[in-house]
Amino acid sequence: MNQIYEDIWKLAKSYYEKGRPMDIDHIEWMMKDAFLVCQKENLDDSLLLPLVILHDVGYAEVPKDNPFKLNLRKAHMEAGAKIARHILEKLNYPKDKIKKIEYYVSVHDNWALGDNSVYEDDLILAVFTDLDYMWMATPKGFPALMKILDKSKQEMIEYLEANDKPKLRPFSTKTTKNLYEKYLEDRRKEVLGTQN
């Protein structure tokens, strides 16, 4: 991974330490899978990786509460966009890319507000939302979301299977779809293993 992404992460991490407990694991996982997707799908990592690293920094500046509440979603996107600009400017990131990444951070959770249109014509945002959603099926994301949503393992599997993301925001690449299906299958096997 390029040094610039490590530098962005170094500056962003102090914000994540003040945010939600799961976010450092979330970002560290997401950086690896995002880099893999960029390589396999020939995507512009200079946009996707900073978006992945910076998208939830705004949780450092909003009240501690259930992150599924819409007012927190809006507030963290607004705060996050400002923090993202600050971090990227500090690292002398290209100005045209700063503007784009700032925009991405400001709309990355728009699906929660009923707006799926931002993901339709922008492959970077579409891949981002695939990865962000996928976190719920990962080894560390699954138990973190179980806790937030107050669900058992079986209920969490059912929640993922019934989720409307694949219908409203279909997986944008073969790589993200395959990764998600593998993560979900692994969680199913774990749940079945605990029921025997």
On the CB side of 159, how many CA atoms lie within 13 Å of its CA?
18
Query: How many CB atoms are closer than 10 A to CB 68?
Result: 11
Q: Could you tell me the two tokens for 145?
A: 């979301």
Q: State the residue for tokens 């991490």.
A: 13
Q: How far apart are CA 143 and CA 58, in angstroms?
A: 22
**Tens of pLDDT, residues 67-106:** 778 888 999 999 999 999 999 999 999 999 999 999 999 9
The verdict on domain 3-195 having CATH code 1.10.3210.10 is yes
Q: Is the four-CA dihedral 76, 82, 83, 85 of positive or negative sign?
A: positive
Give the start-to-end residue ranges of the domains of the chain. 3-195
Listing DSSP states for 57-91 in one string gives GGGGGS-SS-TTSHHHHHHHHHHHHHHHHHHHHHT
| Under-50 pLDDT residues of the chain | 196
**Quick one: pLDDT at residue 196?**
47
